């Protein structure tokens, strides 16, 4: 069975593992204490994973040696932004969580999950997909056609 056939859409039963892999991704990008955010996030994540027709999707590969565990995760949202030249429909995908279990990297799992998420975005009319890349992951995204853009992003925490 090829890697693409191992990818599946995550369901509510995967919520704990999705949070574990999200923490793996966070730890790789910046030092941020885990704290108790997982407990607070779990109910909302379960509910979102149960929605099959919403604007959020996560695609995963099961861990080959540990039943119930995940090897890789890719998650994203579909957003509406007022249309513009080159994107008149204003449908944009945003990839915000890509992680592979540290012991299972370099097997193509993240690429296979990204391929599924990009297909999901296309099916829903996205004309643009954005993500923030770590230096380690940038070659993967570049090989899939992503290009680096100047980032005027600003942030306000509420």
Q: How many independent structural domains does the chain possess? A: 1
* Residue in the block written with tokens 């859409």: 9
Q: Once rounded to an integer, what is the mean pLDDT over residues 82-102?
A: 90
CB 63 within 8 A of CB 6: no
Structural domain that includes position 97: 3-143
Tell me the CATH number at 60: 3.40.630.30
* Average pLDDT of the residues of the chain: 89
Q: Is residue 148 part of a domain?
A: no
Please check the confidence at residue 2 and state whether its pLDDT lies above 50.
no
Contacts of 59 (CB under 8 A, 6+ apart): 7, 8, 9, 10, 73, 74, 75, 113, 116, 117, 120
Q: Once rounded to an integer, what is the mean pLDDT over residues 120-143?
A: 91
User: 158 falls in which pLDDT band (50, 70, 90)?
Assistant: confident
- For 73: left if phi > 0, alpha if psi spans -120 to 50, otherwise beta; the answer is beta
* Residue in the block written with tokens 């030249």: 85
Output the pLDDT for position 1: 41
Output the pLDDT for position 51: 95
């Amino acid at each position: 069975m090829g890697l693409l056939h191992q990818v599946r859409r995550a369901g509510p039963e995967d919520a704990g593992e999705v949070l574990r892999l999200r923490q793996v991704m966070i730890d790789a990008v910046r030092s941020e204490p885990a704290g108790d955010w997982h407990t607070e996030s779990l109910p909302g994540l379960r509910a979102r994973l149960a929605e099959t027709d919403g604007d959020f999707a996560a695609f995963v590969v099961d861990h080959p040696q540990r039943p119930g565990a995940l090897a890789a995760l890719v998650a994203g949202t579909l957003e509406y932004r007022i249309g513009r030249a080159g994107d008149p429909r204003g449908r944009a995908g945003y990839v915000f969580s890509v992680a592979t279990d540290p012991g299972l990297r370099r097997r193509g799992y993240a690429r296979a999950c990204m391929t599924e998420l990009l297909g999901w975005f296309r099916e829903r009319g996205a004309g643009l997909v954005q993500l923030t890349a770590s230096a380690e992951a940038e070659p993967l995204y570049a090989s899939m056609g992503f290009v680096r853009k100047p980032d005027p992003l600003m942030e306000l925490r509420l």
